[in-house]
Chains A and B, each alone.
Chain A
């Protein structure tokens, strides 16, 4: 079996203005969404209380629940939504109590006991201080991994590769955040894990293409970066499609069958996997051309490195024979 023709070189770089233009539109669109629609911070980051209950004998009477909760001053305006199925409900409100003794979960179950048989499934209480700290730590985790990746790629490849990779990472993350805003996915720790997974996945994709470009630069006779990139992307295309395809399938299965707990998580991943795959081809690679990456300079440097290494080995050999 073979998906793509093995010999054909596709001219991806001809599309670079169109593809970067499209990316630009998507990124700007995501930023606009972020500012107009905003993010739906879950209680992990904003602080507050979440109570999930399940009716064991009937569908959840949403209106009754709202009416009962509204009678209590502290629970007024609590958001009451169905969760996954019609017998399960999530109740969210922004206050949180910091005394160990009182439990809102029990209070709510008692208040709602007249509406049917209730099973308490989950109670999450996050104090405002913790919420802020979680948000800060999450952001810190992303920034630190960016810095480390930048250093690693700059050492293993070249600084332009590092810049191109990071910009395409930021591109992917912004688009995922745009999607999170568009679909109003709850931003919680799981969503953060999804964003970080996208980061790792997309980087994986980018590096595999970059590795091929680096190899082609050393082996090909052409000094035209555009054609080298085209060739490298083309030969890795079969791998890219296969891997992205299986990963996409994986997250799709998680989305449809993984349960409601990871619904938002997998939706963010679906967008991220698509964006990550496309960006490694259509954003990261063209950026290399924009950064004025010079094939002949790189080759000269690599040649220099090899020469130095050989010189060192020659000296060592002489030293070992006692001729120095």
Chain B
């Protein structure tokens, strides 16, 4: 067997050294509190708030139609196009042209410039709806925008590393680790749920005093809407249903203090288009009342004394400083085009998370020690090799999870236990094969190499099927199941490297000595029966 008298340091040895160093160095940040990639602890382990939100996209479509309606209305006013019965009901905009011959061309031009609008007209009676494609796009935009908005709001709120991600077609996953108190949680939820839909509306001067007498249906027939005052529900305002402009034209909102009352107020700034509309309107309607409406409630309704240029305004209300601060964040980060509702919420108190970690760690350590002792006793030095591979495997697992920013959950910890089991299994299979060959009288070096060779197809097949299962789990699972699948996949790949290549490297390293000593009991724990 001269040709087998090869060098004891093979490529396997470099692989083992590399993965061990890689694992140890990159898992240090997770174990000690130093800078670098760290494993994320799932909310079930560190405590925090997990929410699944549904987006009511119908509302987004409704408000899209509404804003198109107010845009058309504004253009008509500007071009002195007279209409009758301008109304928007059930996402259908209807109006009748008074001067059909004179204005038809102008109207058609205005309408043709609006994207996704389906126009039906008959003798100057117009019916406008949104195309199906536009509805879909509006819905999709509403969700994307909601994700963005919620993320901005939570970032500005200053919570530690919140996760906001789109999930499935119309859902949003929000995870906020380390929410300690119920008050914090409530504040975070309020911030998310706040639509922050700012509208500037005109008070209908003719019916201003009838707020408590008109029914909503009656008001709608006049093209009006009735909204309550933010402080006193008994005060009701009759407003023109189509807003003058809305929060989409808002570019900034900051907390300030009123000169007169020293109360916190919110100063907002409009973009140039908004400023122009605002200026035109206030110039034309001196003496009228302008209502500042936020999320369907009237905050104030000042009388217009003069044209307001520059595009800035003020919302005053009975705010506390904190409320004003959160409201400014909500306004600044944009309105939610569609309201969100809570589909699923899980909040884990920090004490429970700590208990879970402690108990699982104790269990894991116990299992680990048991396996290490057992392998050493049962398989002799080759058992020690398996243990070295196992420890390097755990470092590698932690390092890779940290590198990917994977999240460790409670089921994920169970996944680690199982991959440790499979790593041990691989070494058991290999060692049993080597023992078999030794029993059959094969010389030691060949027994080792053939043992690995024979064991390989079984180990590969079983590991690959498990990988396939975890891929299916990842693709179709949710939350905890996904975490479990990720941990299991990384663990299996790591164990294939350490348990198959790593232990083989150690055998390569000691092959000459094993052969010289001839003591199979010491090396393989083998005893003739």
Q: Pick from B346, B378, B462, B476: contact of A141, CB below 8 A.
A: B476
Minimum C-beta distance from B135 to chain A (A): 21
Q: Pick from B182, B193, B344, B411: contact of A265, CB below 8 A.
A: B411
A21 contacts which chain B residues (CB < 8 A)?
none
With an 8 A cutoff between CB atoms, is B103 at the interface? no
Complex CA gap A233/B411 in Å reads: 32
Q: In the complex, are the beta carbons of A130 and B343 less than 8 A apart?
A: yes
Q: Pick from B54, B355, B417, B525: contact of A259, CB below 8 A.
A: B355
With an 8 A cutoff between CB atoms, is A173 at the interface? no
Q: Pick from B189, B366, B422: contact of A257, CB below 8 A.
A: B366
With an 8 A cutoff between CB atoms, is B529 at the interface? yes
Q: In the complex, are the beta carbons of B340 and A100 less than 8 A apart?
A: yes
Complex CA gap A15/B86 in Å reads: 86
B9 contacts which chain A residues (CB < 8 A)?
none
Query: For window 232-248 of chain A, which residues contact chain B by CB distance below 8 Å?
Result: 235-236, 238-239, 242-243, 246-247
Minimum C-beta distance from B84 to chain A (A): 41
With an 8 A cutoff between CB atoms, is A324 at the interface? no
Q: Report A126-169 CB contacts with B as 1/0, cut-off 8 Å.
A: 11011000100110110011001100110010000000000000
Complex CA gap A253/B359 in Å reads: 11
Minimum C-beta distance from B444 to chain A (A): 17
Q: In the complex, are the beta carbons of B424 and A243 less than 8 A apart?
A: yes
With an 8 A cutoff between CB atoms, is A125 at the interface? yes
Q: Report A75-111 CB contacts with B as 1/0, cut-off 8 Å.
A: 0000000000000000000000111110101100100
With an 8 A cutoff between CB atoms, is B222 at the interface? no
Q: In the complex, are the beta carbons of A199 and B345 less than 8 A apart?
A: no
Minimum C-beta distance from A258 to chain B (A): 4
Q: In the complex, are the beta carbons of B52 and A246 less than 8 A apart?
A: no
- Which chain A residue lies CB-closest to B359? A259
B457 contacts which chain A residues (CB < 8 A)?
211, 215
Q: In the complex, are the beta carbons of B342 and A144 less than 8 A apart?
A: no
Q: In the complex, are the beta carbons of B356 and A145 less than 8 A apart?
A: no
A125 contacts which chain B residues (CB < 8 A)?
342, 344-346
With an 8 A cutoff between CB atoms, is A19 at the interface? no
Q: Pick from B362, B370, B428, B436: contact of A242, CB below 8 A.
A: B428
Q: In the complex, are the beta carbons of A193 and B349 less than 8 A apart?
A: no
Q: Pick from A129, A199, A258, A266: contact of B469, CB below 8 A.
A: A199
Q: In the complex, are the beta carbons of A211 and B352 less than 8 A apart?
A: no
Q: In the complex, are the beta carbons of B466 and A253 less than 8 A apart?
A: no
Q: In the complex, are the beta carbons of B418 and A156 less than 8 A apart?
A: no
Q: In the complex, are the beta carbons of B436 and A148 less than 8 A apart?
A: no
Q: In the complex, are the beta carbons of A193 and B480 less than 8 A apart?
A: yes
A200 contacts which chain B residues (CB < 8 A)?
418, 465-466, 469-470, 488
Query: For window 8-65 of chain B, which residues contact chain A by CB distance below 8 Å?
Result: 44, 52-54
Query: For window 465-485 of chain B, which residues contact chain A by CB distance below 8 Å?
Result: 465-466, 468-473, 475-481, 484
Minimum C-beta distance from B332 to chain A (A): 20
B476 contacts which chain A residues (CB < 8 A)?
137-138, 140-141, 144
Q: In the complex, are the beta carbons of B359 and A97 less than 8 A apart?
A: no
Given A204-B462, A235-B436, decide whether A258 and B342 contact each other with a Cβ distance below 8 A.
Answer: no
Query: For window 184-203 of chain B, which residues contact chain A by CB distance below 8 Å?
Result: 185-186, 189-190, 192-193
A138 contacts which chain B residues (CB < 8 A)?
476-477, 481
Complex CA gap A101/B377 in Å reads: 59
B362 contacts which chain A residues (CB < 8 A)?
257
Q: Report B363-380 CB contacts with A as 1/0, cut-off 8 Å.
A: 100110011001001100
Q: Report A189-214 CB contacts with B as 1/0, cut-off 8 Å.
A: 11011101101110110011001100
- Which chain A residue lies CB-closest to B488? A200
Q: In the complex, are the beta carbons of B340 and A204 less than 8 A apart?
A: no
Query: For window 292-348 of chain B, which residues contact chain A by CB distance below 8 Å?
Result: 340-348
Complex CA gap A290/B481 in Å reads: 36
Q: In the complex, are the beta carbons of A262 and B461 less than 8 A apart?
A: no
B468 contacts which chain A residues (CB < 8 A)?
145, 148-149, 152
With an 8 A cutoff between CB atoms, is A72 at the interface? no
Q: In the complex, are the beta carbons of A196 and B481 less than 8 A apart?
A: yes
Total interface residues in chain A, CB < 8 Å: 77
Q: In the complex, are the beta carbons of A119 and B349 less than 8 A apart?
A: yes
Q: In the complex, are the beta carbons of B352 and A250 less than 8 A apart?
A: no
B351 contacts which chain A residues (CB < 8 A)?
54, 119, 121
- Which chain A residue lies CB-closest to B349? A121
- Which chain A residue lies CB-closest to B527? A2
Q: In the complex, are the beta carbons of A259 and B360 less than 8 A apart?
A: yes
With an 8 A cutoff between CB atoms, is B443 at the interface? no
Q: Pick from A98, A193, A212: contact of B484, CB below 8 A.
A: A193
A249 contacts which chain B residues (CB < 8 A)?
367, 370
Minimum C-beta distance from A110 to chain B (A): 10
Q: Pick from B185, B359, B377, B439: contact of A258, CB below 8 A.
A: B359
Q: In the complex, are the beta carbons of B348 and A127 less than 8 A apart?
A: no
Q: In the complex, are the beta carbons of A145 and B421 less than 8 A apart?
A: no
Q: Pick from A97, A152, A204, A258: contact of B422, CB below 8 A.
A: A204
For B341, B428, B439, the residue with the greatest tally of chain A CB atoms inside 10 Å of its CB is: B428
Complex CA gap A269/B363 in Å reads: 15
A246 contacts which chain B residues (CB < 8 A)?
370-371, 374, 421, 424
With an 8 A cutoff between CB atoms, is A37 at the interface? no
Q: In the complex, are the beta carbons of A203 and B469 less than 8 A apart?
A: yes
Q: In the complex, are the beta carbons of B477 and A141 less than 8 A apart?
A: yes
Q: In the complex, are the beta carbons of A239 and B185 less than 8 A apart?
A: no
Minimum C-beta distance from A294 to chain B (A): 22
Complex CA gap A295/B352 in Å reads: 57
Complex CA gap A151/B473 in Å reads: 17
Complex CA gap A218/B436 in Å reads: 18
With an 8 A cutoff between CB atoms, is A122 at the interface? yes
Q: Report B418-447 CB contacts with A as 1/0, cut-off 8 Å.
A: 101110110011001001100100000000
Q: Report B241-265 CB contacts with A as 1/0, cut-off 8 Å.
A: 0000000000000000000000000
**What are 21 sample pairs from A and B whose C-beta atoms fall under 8 A apart?**
A2-B526, A6-B436, A100-B190, A100-B342, A103-B189, A122-B349, A138-B481, A144-B472, A144-B475, A152-B464, A189-B411, A189-B478, A196-B469, A201-B421, A204-B422, A207-B461, A211-B461, A242-B428, A251-B417, A253-B366, A254-B414
Seen from chain A, the residues whose Cβ lies within 8 Å of a Cβ on chain B are: 1-2, 5-7, 52, 54, 97-101, 103, 105-106, 109, 119-127, 129-130, 134, 137-138, 140-141, 144-145, 148-149, 152-153, 156, 189-190, 192-194, 196-197, 199-201, 203-204, 207-208, 211-212, 215, 235-236, 238-239, 242-243, 246-247, 249-251, 253-254, 257-259, 261-262, 265-266, 269
Other A-B pairs, 12, CB within 8 Å; known A121-B352, A189-B478: A100-B342, A122-B352, A123-B345, A127-B54, A141-B475, A141-B476, A149-B465, A196-B481, A212-B458, A239-B428, A239-B429, A259-B355
